[in-house]
Amino acid sequence: MSATETWHDVAALGDIPEEGGLAVKVADRTVAIFRRGQDLFALEDTCPHRGGNLSEGIVRDGLVYCPLHAWCFRLDSGCNEDEGPGVESFSVFVEADRVKVKMAAVSSTP
Ligand code: FES
């Protein structure tokens, strides 16, 4: 199945903690939204190691540390700062105090 990407209204800006993340459901996926000052970031919430929720991780210096075994991912790209795989990142912006994330309405299967 394929789907075109679209913007999804996922939360109020005030719902995103200043330090930490918020998990939101978008279509059939869970996305972790992070806030750093005026910047927002959206990453796949599930750690590729053993499924930790990155939205519950520790955020520091532009990185999020998985709460289970501390794999470390860049907020701006989802790249793994260690040697493992990264997580998908999504475009995100704020409009009238609402947070919008760009992704497919339905996950695609290869
Ligand atoms: S589950 Fe994330 S580092 Fe192990």
Whether the pLDDT of residue 80 is over 80: the answer is yes
Q: What is the phi-psi region of residue 76: left when phi exceeds 0, alpha when psi lies from -120 to 50, beta otherwise?
A: alpha
104 band by pLDDT with thresholds 50, 70 and 90: confident
Ligand 1 probe mutation, 45, 46, 50, 63, most atoms within 8 A of CB: 50
Instruction: Please give the distance, rounded to the nearest whole angstrom, from the Cα atom of residue 83 to the centre of ligand 1.
Output: 13
Average pLDDT value for residue range 63-80: 97
CA distance 27 to 83: 30
**pLDDT tens digits, one per residue of 11-55:** 999 999 988 899 999 988 999 999 988 899 999 999 999 999 999
Apex CA 44: angle with CA 40 and CA 47, to 5°?
120
1 band by pLDDT with thresholds 50, 70 and 90: very low
Ligand 1 probe mutation, 69, 80, 81, 87, most atoms within 8 A of CB: 69
Contact 47, 59 (CB under 8 A): no
Atom of ligand 1 nearest to the CA of 67: 2
106 band by pLDDT with thresholds 50, 70 and 90: low
Check residue 24 and give its pLDDT.
97
Whether the pLDDT of residue 109 is over 50: the answer is no
Count of alpha carbons within 13 Å of 2, Cβ hemisphere only? 2
CA-closest candidate to residue 36, choices 62, 12, 10:
62
Average pLDDT value for residue range 71-83: 95
Q: Which CATH code for domain 5-104?
A: 2.102.10.10
Sorted by where each begins, the domain ranges of the chain are 5-104
